[in-house]
Chain A
Amino acid sequence: MYALREALAAFRRAPLLTGLSAAMVGLALFVVGLFALAAYNLQLALESVEERVEIVAYLREEARTDEIALAEQELSSLPEVESVEIVTKDEALEIARRELPEFREVFTDLDVNPLPASIEIRLKAGHRDPSSVDHVARQAGQYPIVEDVRFGREWVDKVFTIRRMAAITTAVMGIAFALVALLIIGTAVRMAVFARRDEIRIMRLVGARDRFIRLPFLLEGALTGFAGGVLAIALTWLTYRAVFHWVFSIEWIPLSWVGAGLLAGVLFGTFASSLAVRRYLREVGE
């Protein structure tokens, strides 16, 4: 109770200092928030590109209906496979006419349909990496009724290279921004602790326990971190709205990320505060 009252009193006694601390924390976490917004939208964009990853197994002319049905059934049961669709020769011609209008006349005047039937295989999310694609393509290619299997190996490789780079960049920059935020929060809290050094000395003088001395500062750090987290989320949301209205359409980060941001603010604040107080108590001596 005393600790909470003192932590709140710190905001009242030195509003400028605590306000500045919260603003510094807020700005540090805002940079993390902007990065999260960019990373999340990049992730969505890559997922939509990955959804287009498809394996097409072209069938021989002589493939019988029962053989095709068996292949369809077996391929559907593979754990990586989301859906399998048979495209008959007639359907292939219809699609070609629809999607390639500049060749419509060529496809209209045909005596014989030259397009092969095919099995189109879509993979589940999380199984669209090159090795899974390769594995399913090899399985499809083993059927004697399959003449050729296509899946755009280079395309898949490029998509996954970009994905891997994005993941590494996100992790490295996320950690770097988090460290910067931690340093800033630590500095802000140390300023607050230093401003109250006389109180700490007197507390020790009259026999206050160290944990009793620490607790108000930890709560103050947590509150500062929370206030900074709220500020960071507000600034990130304003940026999101501005980009959405005036630049291009993007998605807002999931609520769980918002919660994680707030929690990070509180934890960073508490942790930085804990380090600062511990260090200061050591400097003051017994």
Chain B
Amino acid sequence: MIKLIDVSKEYPRRGLALDGVSFHVRKGEFAFLTGHSGSGKSTTLRLIHMADRPTSGEVRVSGFSSSRTSPRDVWKLRRRVGFCFQDFRLLPNRTALENVAFALEVTGAGRKAIHTRAQRLLSQVGLAPKAGAMVHELSGGEQQRVAIARALVNDPLVLLADEPTGNLDERATRGIMELFWEINQLGMAVLMATHDLELVRRYPNARLLELDQGRLVYDSAAAEAGEAV
């Protein structure tokens, strides 16, 4: 599903962001990617989403390789990988339904199917009653639900989330985490970057990957198997 093989990423000004990271997230797995700010969590997600390419090593995602996928073909990968952000990244001048419909439209869904599918996705994230609300009329938790619905438009195999609860209060965080868990139970792999260890502890069944200064310093799956990371 997602495989990082000895991946390093160096930025001209920032220096080394990732240093020889390797891990493998399998189909249907739920994994947390933790670490302090600047440890390389967001860089890892960007590399998996191919918004960036590794300086060395290889990233493989659902049959796409960072060393063989041309920039022209990245859109194919994006349709298999959903992405949620801390700041939601919704279109502010549109309704919840229009935000989801927009994602469906730009990926070439048929006009008739768009409305039905957007409604169904909003129902799935528990936001059907607020489909017609403008984005600024929604709470942070509700906006994140819209963003999750949008990330699901292409029926992705994996859902990436970069600090998705970072801007939410405790109650909204619980709701969003339950939603991610439900999505995962449907068979979709989830890789969530967070620095909130309290949150991670609430999900002992999830896999834990910890980064420190660009290096993978802990992998719960490897630890259980008695392997070194």
Contacts and interface: CB of A to CB of B under 8 A. Distances in A.
Contacts of B102: 199, 202
B226 interface: no
Contacts of B105: 2
Contacts of B74: 286
B153 A202 contact: no
Contacts of B130: none
Interface stretch (A182-190, A206-214, A243-251): A206-214
Given A202-B102, A210-B72, A285-B51, A13 B107 contact: no
A206 B103 contact: yes
A203 interface: yes
Interface string B38-72: 00000000000011110000000000000000011
B75 interface: yes
Contacts of A286: 50-53, 71, 74
A97 interface: no
A87 B86 CA distance: 96
A93 B154 CA distance: 96
Task: Determine the main DSSP class of A at the interface with B.
Answer: helix
Contacts of A210: 72, 75
A204 B83 CA distance: 11
B15 interface: no
B76 interface: yes
Nearest to B100: A206
A201 interface: yes
A206 B150 contact: yes
B78 interface: yes
Contacts of B78: 204-207
Interface in B194-209: none
Given A13-B93, A198-B89, A202-B103, A207 B75 contact: yes
Nearest to A196: B91
Contact of A208 (B50, B93, B107, B150): B107
B79 interface: yes
Nearest to B104: A206
Counting chain B CB atoms within 10 Å of each CB, the highest count among A201, A206, A208, A286 belongs to: A206
B129 interface: no
Contacts of B72: 210
B108 A212 contact: yes
Nearest to A209: B75
B153 A206 contact: yes
Nearest to A204: B78
A196 to B, nearest CB: 10
Interface string B95-114: 00000001101111000000
A117 to B, nearest CB: 80
A65 to B, nearest CB: 83
Contacts of A209: 75
A178 B78 CA distance: 41
B50 A206 contact: no
A208 B52 CA distance: 17
A267 B24 CA distance: 50
A205 B154 CA distance: 11
Given A207-B107, A207-B154, A210-B75, A202 B52 contact: no
B154 A202 contact: no
A209 B75 CA distance: 6
Given A205-B89, A212-B106, 15 more contacts: A2-B105, A198-B91, A202-B91, A203-B106, A205-B78, A206-B103, A206-B150, A206-B151, A207-B79, A207-B107, A210-B72, A213-B106, A285-B52, A286-B50, A286-B53
Interface of B: 50-53, 71-72, 74-79, 83, 89, 91-93, 102-103, 105-108, 150-151, 153-154
13 contacts: A198-B91, A202-B103, A202-B150, A204-B78, A206-B103, A206-B107, A206-B153, A206-B154, A207-B78, A208-B106, A208-B107, A209-B75, A210-B72
Interface of A: 2, 13, 198-199, 201-210, 212-213, 285-286
Q: Which 3 A-B pairs have the closest CB atoms?
A: A207-B78, A207-B79, A208-B106
